[in-house]
Amino acid sequence: MIASIPSPSSNGIGIGPFEIHAYGLMYAFAVAAAVIIVTRRWRKLGGSPDLPWEVAIWAFPAGLLGGRLYFDITSFNEMPHTWYGPIAVWDGGLGIWGGIAAGAAVGIWRVHRAGASVPDFMDATAPALLVAQAIGRIGNYFNQELFGGPTNLPWALQISPEHRPEGYIHYATFQPTFLYEIIWNLALAAFLVWLGHHRKIKPPGLFALYVAGYSAFRIFEESLRVDPAHHILGQRLNFWVAIVLTLVGLTWFAWTQRRDARDPLPPVDPAAAPST
């Protein structure tokens, strides 16, 4: 093999009696980055810069609960065999779709309660979510999880024997699907920002494209991954979820762009805008 990507020897840093897990740290960075991006985009729409932070206070814990619940339901056999297994997010195990669904539902409630435009806020959020997901995938790298099948490509990922799935013990390097997703998420985020600046996209069209674009990539990613998963008709469960959500996202986008222009969306609440 010419080259490969080494995996970290540890997934955390010990400070005295405390252990800081890289997985959780990356999620903290991801949330902070997302809120900063949304705040900048929301302010340009004339909205209050305080609203994204208020939404995050509610949506982040909801997203954690939703993501873990999705994981517990779809990957219950991977939970640690301890009493705290169902909530052990520091060891990995967050279903992104469950997290986005729960976080979005609570976020929509909070934005609506603030009297602001929910579709506009969703479009401001779409690229930020992709950046956050890209940062979060770094946590999977530290945990040596969610990788693809064996490969000898120059960018192959080294996986320690204790992290290799059953049937793959004798292989040393695997497809770095976390890296593929990071690249895709950042590229899609940049595209959505460009599209919003150069084309007249009716909200929440950008959010619909986020759902479709991310899910479409997951169809490809799920075809590579070899970590344990439930299968339906020979394919991983999330492969089918990704197909359904890709179709939902594309249909949603088409519907938003064909909406009667005489039926405008509620405007951003002027009272919520910062004073000048």
Residue 163 CA to residue 174 CA, distance in Å, equals 11
pTM: 0.85
The mean pLDDT value for 197-217 works out to: 96
Q: Where are the domains of the chain?
A: 19-194
Asked if 214 contacts 133 with a C-beta cutoff of 8 angstroms, the reply is yes
Q: What is the pLDDT of residues 32-74, one digit of tens each?
A: 999 999 999 999 999 999 999 999 999 988 888 888 787 777 7
User: What confidence score (pLDDT) does residue 86 get?
Assistant: 58
How much is the mean pLDDT over the chain?
86
The gap between the terminal CA atoms of the chain, to the nearest Å, is 61
Q: Hey, what are 191's tokens? A: 């595209």
Burial of 28 (0-12, 13-18, 19+ CB in 10 A): middle
Strands 157-158 and 18-21, by their bridges, are: unpaired
Following DSSP, what letter does each residue of 208-249 receive, concatenated?
A: HHHHHHHHHHHHHHHHHB-S---EETTEEHHHHHHHHHHHHH
Residue 183 CA to residue 136 CA, distance in Å, equals 13
User: What confidence score (pLDDT) does residue 263 get?
Assistant: 46
Which of the four pLDDT bands, split at 50, 70 and 90, describes residue 14? low
User: What confidence score (pLDDT) does residue 87 get?
Assistant: 59
- Of the candidates 268, 132, 252, 128, the residue with the CA atom closest to the CA atom of residue 201: 252
Q: Does 83 have pLDDT greater than 50?
A: no
Instruction: Give the containing element (helix H, strand E) for 158.
Output: strand 157-158
Which of the four pLDDT bands, split at 50, 70 and 90, describes residue 264? very low
